[in-house]
Amino acid sequence: MPTVLSLGEVQRALQGLLEERVSIRDLSRIFEGLSLRAKTSTEPEGLVEAARTALGPAVAAPYVRDGVLRVVTLEPVLEQQARRVAPSGRGRLAVGDRSAAS
C-alpha cells in the first residue's frame, strides 16, 4: 500500500481502531478496507471507518450467542440524554447486562 497510503496514515488508522478497542490482528482485512477507501479519500476518520467495516464480522463475533447477535437501539434524543447522565468517556454508553444479574 505504499503508493496508496503513507505509513503514517496506516498507523493513524490502526491507532484509531485500538482506541476503540478493536483488535488489529486481522491485518489482511484491515489493509483491504484501507486500500479500498484510500482510492477515494485518505481522511483518518474515513479510513478507520473502512477498516472497522471490513472487520465487522470479527468485531461482532464476541457478542454472538447461539448464532444470534442481540442489540438495543435508542432514539437519538434518548441516547444524548443518557450520555449526559452516564458518560463512559469513550463515546459509548456504559450499560450493564441485566440478564446476568438475575
Alpha carbon distances (Å) from 31 to 23, 42, 50, 77, 81: 13, 13, 10, 36, 37
Tens digits of per-residue pLDDT, 26-51? 999 999 999 999 999 999 999 999 99
Question: Which pTM value belongs to this model?
Answer: 0.60
- What's the mean per-residue pLDDT of the chain? 83
* Res 98: pLDDT: 47
Q: What is the DSSP letter of 52?
A: H
The residue extents of the domains of the chain are: 7-61, 72-101
Say what the pLDDT of residue 88 is. 58
For helices 7-19 and 44-54, angle between their N-to-C axes, nearest 10 degrees? 60
pLDDT mean over 60-75: 89
- In percent, how much of the chain has pLDDT > 70? 80
Average pLDDT over residues 46-74: 90
Q: Specify the residue for cell string 456504559.
A: 94
